[in-house]
Amino acid sequence: MFALTNTTTRLAVAGLAAAAFMTTFTAQAEWKPKGPISVVIGFAAGGGTDTQARLISAELKKRKGWNMIPSNLSGRGGVVMARKLKSMPNDGLSIGMAVTEVFGYNMLASKKSGYKTSDFTYIATTTSSQMGIVANTSKGWKTFKDVIAAAKKGKVFKFAGMSAKHADINFLIEQKYGVKFNTVVLRGGRKVMNAIIAGDVDLGYGAGIQAKAVMSGKMVNLASGLGERLRISPNAPTLVEMGIPYDIGAKFIFVAPAGIPADARKALADAIGEVINDPSTKASKFVSKRYGGPDVVTGKKLDAYIANEIKAAKVLMKLMK
Amino acid sequence: MTTGPFSPKMQKAPWTVGLAIFFSLASLLTLFVWIPLDIETGVIETFRRRVTIGDAMAPTIMAVAILVVSVVMGILTVFEPAENSSDVKEDLDKQSFVFLARLVIVVSIGLVLMVYLGPMVVDLINTLGGEIGSYRNLRATYPYKLIGYVFGGFVLIFGIISVVENRFSMNGALVSIIAVVVITMLYELPFDNLLLPPNGAN
Amino acid sequence: MGLLDHIWLGIVTVFTVDPVFSIAGLPISMTIIMVFLGLIFGIFVGATPGIGGPVAMAISLPILISIFGFKADALLPVLGFLVGIMKGSTVGGAVPAILFNTPGTPDSLMTTLDGYPLTKKGQPGKALRVAHFSSVSGDTISDIVLITGAPFLAIIVERFLDFPEKAALIILSLAFVSAVVGSNVWKGLLAALLGLFMAYIGTGEDGHPRLSMGSDNLANGFPLISAVLGVLILGEVFKSLEDMWREMRETSTITKVEVKGDNKLHLSDIRKILPFIGISASIGTMIGALPGIGSTLAATLGYATGRKIHKGSPAFGEGAIEGIAATEAANSAVAGANLIPVLSLGIPGNISAVFILLATESIGGFVPGPQVFRLVPDQINQEMVYAFGLFTAMIFANGLNWTFGGVFMRWMGVMIKIPKQRLLPIVLLLTLTAIYVQQTNMFAVYVTLGFGFLGYFMRKLNFSVLAFVIAYILANNLEESMRQAFAVTGADPWFLFASPTSIIFVVISILVVIFFARNQKDLN
């Protein structure tokens, strides 16, 4: 993803607003589920994905009367869920929730992921991660440039990421600046936060979970992993600005097996977008608090976004070889 | 026969010795066949300059440790003086397997009914011209969603009671029915997004 | 924010958050209600032959999670209920031992020795009152040690242990558990190793789930809850069913109890039993703080020590109230101290602790471990608030136990009449249903049954199920901390021997195994 997020997002929001407008004012025969809708969540209960999926499900049940049945199928950063969802019936009554990386980098990085892009219908994104490189304020670093300067003097820092992708990015940084990190991959943002606080590592990646600590001044976002600067830390440069041309942000996404009816796809996307964009819903409040607000992409724009994600992942991987 | 180092202990703890042999062989098989064939990365992986512990590390260490421990356990069990034999107590005899076989049969029947009875009933109604749609779409609809669980659960409880008591009693059947109904209500009444077996999402 | 702020917030959270109704203007919170219900349920199951505290916790956990959900505000009500069961069942366990000479759990075996003679003398009421008083005292003392000890231990661990030392500490705990539990060190080790190996099936970091033999069902390993409940609960259910099947012809007669003479607990009695309670509670607390050794050993040691220091009549074994006190105080003191390794290190030492850990793993927002007690300037550490909330719930449960527990306990005599062979199949269905509802697939149910049969064979052949389960739970933590230690030290293959602390842990692990391998006869 070559720093396209910003524009894509804006276009998508505009598109969604239009879509929402149309659904409100046109009285067309709406898609109705014939039975209960299974919502398979690709991450463990209690995390950011799970919370969103459950809040949205509950709201859809209330608004639409759809019988939403959430369940968790975690493992391998959402890949286990994707593999399962692929073979579920494509009648619109089986949907899954994960992050876009599952259908981009994670899919390509594994020798046997067991699924491909065309195995799914992409329904809607909800919000995007606020990916930053984080450290304790007490380290004295203001931005990532300070880290590089210190590392150039021969200091080897312990650097925690959440996925192999972060290790790749660290490798690129090492190459570019001639420095060395001891990179460690931890499972999930909570563990990275704990390792940073406890001093087990010097710095690490956070996808939004660091927001509270950064606001209170306890931690600092040293760099933005997005194509744009982070909303809460406008002084931190993006990795792109530092010569690492990758947007490592991800979006949370609802997907379905390939080939679900077009009206089902539209109805589901509209309904999800409506809930997450309504500031009064719990789901919307949650994403605003943690991820800086809703970011809904649907339909053809979403297909394009996924295609772009794959293209970027391929470029990154080629470079790593 | 009883003077040799082998025989008395072998007779006292045949299972322990047998397990020691079994686990020794199984760990060798794991080390040389299962792990190489069924794990993607090795013990140590070097990937993009980063040296990491591969997925094969932990299982390999465990298989080696199991090999060592089961060999030691086997040798000690065979050669240890007989007065220490309290620590190799074994309660497994022919009767145990008779009981287990009966238990497995009733549990299996119960589970088969639990999983397949609902869809079968729906299919039957459809075949008879009922046009009620697929079981998947009805898995949250009364009474279809409860058919499998209630019947299967009843057979499971009543079957086990009957195996243990060695008889069929009306009283036992009554207890089983009440138990299944109470458990069903425990989940059905307060929660509307929970589904009893076999109706879950995946 | 200081320590006191967190303690206060914990207390406030327990008593005021989510009030359900109010009595005389005082709001009654959900957590309080759950502690109360858990305690009563615990006394009830403790007094019921065939299902003890662990079974009750196992069945309740998935149901509670279904009710309260996965979000952090579910934590205290769910933990409150589990803590209630834990405390109630230790009190309830004495009832069948005293009234019918049948210990509900191995813990109360020693209680029968003096409890039942008292019943035969017509003083069941006195025996029950002594048991209640001693049990709750032992429990309370243990909790005080937990509440004061756990935070300090956690702070030390947090300050001095990095990734390599944490890995070494897990190895030490596993070595200790497998060496100490059960009768044979090698069987214990084999059980633990097997637990570790099985936990590595289907997990790992590669795209291809290792050792899964291509099965998508195993793509994330065997579900933790299936493995744990299968081995711990179903294994026990299967074994008890077989025992009953074998003994079906023997009819048990229920003795009619005639109540006469002194059935009260006098101040002079309390004065007599207090020293015994003090000693036994200390023994129980110490044993509880070590992983793996359970309340049964504590009860045995407590009783044996009591017998040594007891003078006068009636002698131990002939209806001495001191005998009941020595046993009950010891086995009840294990519960609280048992939570020290869980809360401060994230390492469970016994079955109750396993369920507390399972609950926190299922519900977000609270990961037991040293970071729980970390003080962050100007910030609230929510996990510490939950920890003190849990402590508050425990103290509140003790209060309830002191005031109402005894009354409920004396009502429970009727529970002995429930036929176990009718109850256990129901427990089986309930457990399988609970697992299905949480995992939503039949594969998890089949896995649970599979592990149930594994647990059955382990029990039959005298392999420690506790060592297996604790190893299974810690397996992925161990691998993760190894990977991290390796990565963080820049691929140093000797990371386990890089610091004095981790060397000490590794050396002690080896010594523990050697020591118990040579001295196993003495322990039993």
Reported as a single tens digit per residue, the pLDDT across A121-132 is 999 999 998 899
Q: Assess whether pLDDT exceeds 80 at residue C194.
A: yes
For residues B30 and C294, the model is more confident at B30
Phi and psi torsions of C32, nearest 5°: -60, -45
Q: Assess whether pLDDT exceeds 90 at residue C451.
A: yes
Nearest-CA distance C302 → chain A (Å): 40
Q: C431 contacts in B (CB within 8 Å)?
A: none
Percent of chain C past pLDDT 70, that is, above it, reads 95
Q: Which CATH number characterizes residue A56's domain?
A: 3.40.190.150
Question: CA angle, corner C46, sides to C45 and C48, nearest 5?
Answer: 60
Q: Which residue of B has its CA nearest to C475?
A: B58
Nearest-CA distance A44 → chain C (Å): 8
Segment holding C10, helix H or strand E? helix C3-16
Interface subset of A 41-60, CB within 8 angstroms of B: 57
For residues C276 and C346, the model is more confident at C276
Q: Assess whether pLDDT exceeds 80 at residue C253.
A: no
Q: Assess whether pLDDT exceeds 60 at residue B7.
A: no
> What is the model's pTM?
0.87
Question: Which pLDDT band, with edges at 50, 70 and 90, does A5 fall under?
Answer: very low
Distance from C-alpha of C231 to C-alpha of C467, rounded to nearest angstrom: 11
Q: What is the pLDDT of residue A4?
A: 42
Q: Are A216 and C379 in contact (CB under 8 A)?
A: yes
Q: Are residues A177 and A96 in the same domain?
A: no
Q: Assess whether pLDDT exceeds 90 at residue B24.
A: yes
Region A26-38: what's the mean pLDDT? 78
Distance from C-alpha of A317 to C-alpha of A109, rounded to nearest angstrom: 8
Q: Is residue A117 one of the residues assigned to a domain?
A: yes
Average pLDDT value for chain B: 87
Dig out the tokens for C428 from the structure: 């089986």
Q: Is residue A229 one of the residues assigned to a domain?
A: no
Distance from C-alpha of C37 to C-alpha of C80, rounded to nearest angstrom: 9
Distance from C-alpha of C330 to C-alpha of C109, rounded to nearest angstrom: 13
Mark residue A243 as left, alpha or beta (left: phi above 0; alpha: psi -120 to 50; beta: remaining): left
Q: What is the pLDDT of residue B193?
A: 72
Distance from C-alpha of A162 to C-alpha of A206, rounded to nearest angstrom: 8
Strands C19-23 and C26-29: antiparallel
For residue range C453-463, list pLDDT tens digits in order. 999 999 999 89
Region A52-79: what's the mean pLDDT? 90
Q: Assess whether pLDDT exceeds 60 at residue B5.
A: no
Beta bridge partners of A157: A181
Q: Are residues A91 and A104 in the same domain?
A: yes
Q: What is the pLDDT of residue A29?
A: 65
Q: Are residues A116 and A145 in the same domain?
A: no
Q: Are residues A191 and A280 in the same domain?
A: no
Distance from C-alpha of B58 to C-alpha of C210, rounded to nearest angstrom: 11
Q: Are A183 and B50 in contact (CB under 8 A)?
A: yes
Q: Are residues A12 and A74 in the same domain?
A: yes
Q: What is the pLDDT of residue A236?
A: 93
Segment holding A32, helix H or strand E? none
For residues C1 and A27, the model is more confident at C1
Q: Are residues A17 and A124 in the same domain?
A: yes
Q: What is the pLDDT of residue C2?
A: 79
A311, HSE (Cβ side, Cα atoms, 13 Å): 10
* Cβ distance of B202 and A38 shorter than 8 Å: yes
Question: Which pLDDT band, with edges at 50, 70 and 90, does A12 fall under?
Answer: low
Q: Are residues A120 and A141 in the same domain?
A: no
Q: What is the pLDDT of residue A2?
A: 41
Owner of token pair 């046009």: B131
Q: A167 contacts in B (CB within 8 Å)?
A: 48, 50
Q: Which residue of B has its CA nearest to A40?
A: B201
For residue range C473-485, list pLDDT tens digits in order. 889 889 988 988 8
Q: Is residue A39 one of the residues assigned to a domain?
A: yes
Region B130-143: what's the mean pLDDT? 88
Q: Which of A80, A114, A182 is nearest residue C487 as measured by Cβ atoms?
A: A182
Q: Are residues A73 and A11 in the same domain?
A: yes
For the ranges A28-32, C216-220, C466-470, the lowest mean pLDDT is seen at: A28-32
Q: Assess whether pLDDT exceeds 90 at residue B160.
A: yes
**DSSP, residue by residue, A272-291:** HHHHHH-TTSHHHHHHHHHH
Strands A203-206 and A157-161: parallel
* Cβ distance of A110 and C484 shorter than 8 Å: no
Beta bridge partners of A127: A294
Region C381-393: what's the mean pLDDT? 91
Burial of C106 per CB tally in 10 Å (0-12, 13-18, 19+): middle
What are the CB-based long-range contacts (under 8 Å, 24+) for C513-521? Answer: C513/C175, C513/C178, C513/C179, C513/C185, C513/C189, C515/C179, C516/C179, C516/C180, C516/C185, C517/C179, C517/C185, C517/C186, C520/B87, C520/C183, C520/C184, C520/C185, C521/B84, C521/B87
For residues C280 and C232, the model is more confident at C280
What does DSSP assign to residue A294?
B
Question: CA angle, corner A273, sides to A269 and A277, nearest 5?
Answer: 180
Distance from C-alpha of C350 to C-alpha of A108, rounded to nearest angstrom: 43
Nearest-CA distance A113 → chain C (Å): 6
Segment holding A121, helix H or strand E? strand A120-128
Chains meeting B at 3+ CB pairs closer than 8 A?
Answer: A, C
Dig out the tokens for C317 from the structure: 């074994």
- Among A159, A189, A224, give the residue marking a domain's end: A224
Residue C80, SS3? helix
Question: Which pLDDT band, with edges at 50, 70 and 90, does A317 fall under?
Answer: confident
Q: Are residues A63 and A81 in the same domain?
A: yes
B41 in reach of chain A (CB within 8 A): no
Q: What is the pLDDT of residue B172?
A: 93
Average pLDDT value for chain C: 86
Q: Assess whether pLDDT exceeds 60 at residue B9.
A: no
Residues 6+ apart with CB under 8 A from C258: C122
For residues B190 and A93, the model is more confident at A93
Give the residue ranges of DSSP H helices in chain A. Answer: 5-25, 48-64, 79-86, 105-109, 144-152, 164-177, 189-198, 211-215, 262-277, 282-291, 299-320
C494 in reach of chain B (CB within 8 A): no
Q: Are residues A107 and A147 in the same domain?
A: no
Q: Are A41 and A84 in contact (CB under 8 A)?
A: no
Omega cis (within 30) before C370: no
Q: What is the pLDDT of residue C47?
A: 85
Q: What is the radius of gyration, based on Cα positions, of chain C?
A: 23
User: How many domains does one find in chain A?
Assistant: 2
* Cβ distance of B193 and A183 shorter than 8 Å: no
Q: What is the pLDDT of residue C408?
A: 87
Give the residue ranges of DSSP H helices in C290-419. Answer: 295-309, 321-345, 351-362, 382-400, 406-411
For residue range C2-21, list pLDDT tens digits in order. 788 888 888 888 888 888 88
C255 in reach of chain B (CB within 8 A): no
Percent of chain C past pLDDT 90, that is, above it, reads 34
Residue A69, SS3? strand
B138 in reach of chain A (CB within 8 A): yes
For residue range A163-192, list pLDDT tens digits in order. 888 988 999 999 999 999 999 888 778 788
Domain carrying residue A256: 5-129+250-320
Q: Assess whether pLDDT exceeds 60 at residue A7.
A: no
Q: Are residues A282 and A213 in the same domain?
A: no
Q: Are C394 and C83 in contact (CB under 8 A)?
A: yes
Distance from C-alpha of A284 to C-alpha of A270, rounded to nearest angstrom: 15
For residue range C102-150, list pLDDT tens digits in order. 776 777 888 989 998 998 888 989 999 999 999 999 999 999 999 998 8
Region C184-204: what's the mean pLDDT? 93
Region C234-250: what's the mean pLDDT? 85
Q: Assess whether pLDDT exceeds 60 at residue C94.
A: yes
Dig out the tokens for A307 from the structure: 């295609």
Distance from C-alpha of C172 to C-alpha of A222, rounded to nearest angstrom: 38
Q: Which of A71, A111, A168 is nearest residue B202 as measured by Cβ atoms?
A: A71
Q: Assess whether pLDDT exceeds 70 at residue C48.
A: yes
Q: Which of C193, C422, C486 is nearest residue B175 as measured by Cβ atoms?
A: C422
Q: Is residue A239 one of the residues assigned to a domain?
A: no
Dig out the tokens for C83 from the structure: 């803590």
Q: Is residue A244 one of the residues assigned to a domain?
A: no
Q: What is the pLDDT of residue A27?
A: 45
Region C165-193: what's the mean pLDDT? 87
* Cβ distance of C183 and B196 shorter than 8 Å: no
Q: Which CATH number characterizes residue A156's domain?
A: 3.40.190.10
CA distances from C17 to C34, C36, C311, C373 (A): 13, 16, 51, 22
Segment holding C486, helix H or strand E? helix C465-488
Q: Are residues A16 and A63 in the same domain?
A: yes
Chains meeting A at 3+ CB pairs closer than 8 A?
Answer: B, C
For residue range B65-123, list pLDDT tens digits in order. 999 999 999 998 888 765 555 555 678 889 999 999 999 999 999 999 999 999 999 99
Residue B45, SS3? strand
